[in-house]
Structure 1
Amino acid sequence: MRLPSALLASAFLLGAVSAASADSRVFIVANQADGYGVDECLAEGHKCGAHAARAFCQSREFAQASAYRRVEHNEITATVPGDGGERCTGPSCGEYVAITCQR
């Protein structure tokens, strides 16, 4: 039994549409100690960071946060803000969090 070419073309287009709708982007943000522990929730990937990560993504017109975690400096390929001699204070000074947002 052969599948008509129109059916195969439809299957291909549906696959392309679902791939386009899964648009995601990773944001690298400074891990700011806020006194409430949100920074540790995000950095450690704990469930308590889910709301903050989702709010971050929604503020940038994404639907949800699919992941969030601490990143090391060697994982960041672009210039890291704050490496130009600015003074940083606090326990999470110089730490960064990656938040993956999806549309």
Structure 2
Amino acid sequence: MRRAFVLTGLAAHLIALALLLPAAVTAQPADEATFIIPASDGYGVAECLATGDDCAAGVAQAWCTAQGYARATHFGVVDRREATGSLKEEVAVTSRRGAPSVSITCSVAP
């Protein structure tokens, strides 16, 4: 009788551990993600990427690294049609000052 209680208790603990263990695993970023960054973000990311200056690749790489990705695969000015299909033709993806938003696509693979 006592052995049955011990085995039942052990089985319950193992089941609880098996159910709770997957919840403790940290989430990994998706293989690839695209971030839309407004020109008015305050960090100067859009100014560098929108103009195509020499700093663009470095800024895009730093952004991806800060988000947990290995490298930047693509970056540039956002085309209104890529951002959303619900905007009217005359509406552009711009900030308050009229500067275009930019996108950075990051990848987990090096």
Query: TM-score, normalised to structure 1's length?
Result: 0.53
**Where does 1:59-74 land on structure 2 (aligned, <5 Å)?**
59-74=66-81
Task: State the AA in 2 paired with 1:96.
Answer: S
The 1:34–1:60 alpha-carbon spacing in structure 2 relative to 1, beyond 3 Å, is closer
The 1:96–1:54 alpha-carbon spacing in structure 2 relative to 1, beyond 3 Å, is same
Deviation at 1:96, TM superposition (A): 1.4
Query: Which ranges of structure 2 fall in alignment gaps of 5 or more residues?
Result: 1-30, 88-94
Deviation at 1:27, TM superposition (A): 1.1
Query: Which ranges of structure 1 fall in alignment gaps of 5 or more residues?
Result: 1-22, 81-87
Q: Which has the larger radius of gyration?
A: 2
> Could you say which structure has the higher strand fraction?
1
Q: How many residues align?
A: 72
CA RMSD of aligned residues (A): 3.0
Of 85, 88, 96, the match for 2:101: 96
User: 1:35-81 deviations in whole A, cap 9, x for unaligned?
Assistant: 96x5233124443211111111111100111111101222212788x
Identity percentage of aligned residues: 32
Of 26, 33, 36, the match for 1:25: 33
Contact 1:43 1:68 in 2 (8 A): no
**Where does 1:1-103 land on structure 2 (aligned, <5 Å)?**
23-32=31-40, 38-77=45-84, 89-92=96-99, 95-103=100-108
The 1:52–1:35 alpha-carbon spacing in structure 2 relative to 1, beyond 3 Å, is closer
Task: State the AA in 2 paired with 1:101.
Answer: C
Query: TM-score, normalised to structure 2's length?
Result: 0.50
Query: Helix, strand or coil: the match of 2:55?
Result: helix
Report the equivalent of 1:10: none
